[in-house]
Amino acid sequence: MSGRILACGGGGDFAALLLELSGSPRPRVCYLPTAAADDSALVVGFYERFVPLACDPFHVPLFGIPERPAERVASADVVLVSGGNTANMLAVWRVHGIDVALRETWERGAVLAGASAGANCWFEASVTDSFGPQLAGLEDGLGLLSGSFCPHYDGEELRRPVYTRLVSEGRLPPGIACDDDAAVLYEGTELGEVLATEPGASAYRVTPAGEEPLTARLV
């Protein structure tokens, strides 16, 4: 039984939805700020958002001296991944076995989520600024979901032209692009629906033939 994955383009407050998706009256919510090198401001922001809610939030740092990180991730009902450097995050995760823990957690029915780098990671490939501001394709994702992903589709001027070009040239597999304030919700490995926290935000299916807008539901 695979769980759900909520991949966000950037921004948007989906906290309450994540708790609802977990199906638990008081879910354990794990925050992984690895992509931002465990930035303390992001960790504080996570607790400020989730402590008032009906959940048990905790974060798992991987810089410094980690303490049973894979085991702690595996105990979560919801795992929320920060934005930041996708490539660095994936490398650090693999050193500590977080990649395996995330797959096992998802396979037992947990909810995985994140925006930007925290969305790129679930797919086979993505568009990232991990290697510089010019953007590049990354084909080193966890591969829980097939195809590629592009965040910030309307929020950064280079995202759309770079992603559509990489897909049209066959350098990235076809996939999904999300505007800021929009997210795609997967039930297992199947795309369920597009959600948005702001009017006009949406997602697109991108293939070598072009892009197809997908209808979003405001939440």
Residues with a catalytic annotation lie at 116, 152
State the burial class of residue 18 (Cβ atoms within 10 Å of its Cβ: 0-12, 13-18, 19+): buried
Sheet order of strands, 28-32 included: 56-59, 28-32, 78-81, 111-115, 4-8, 182-187, 190-196, 216-218
| C-beta of residue 141 within 8 angstroms of C-beta of residue 121 | yes
| C-beta of residue 72 within 8 angstroms of C-beta of residue 97 | no
Report helix, strand or coil for 93.
Answer: helix
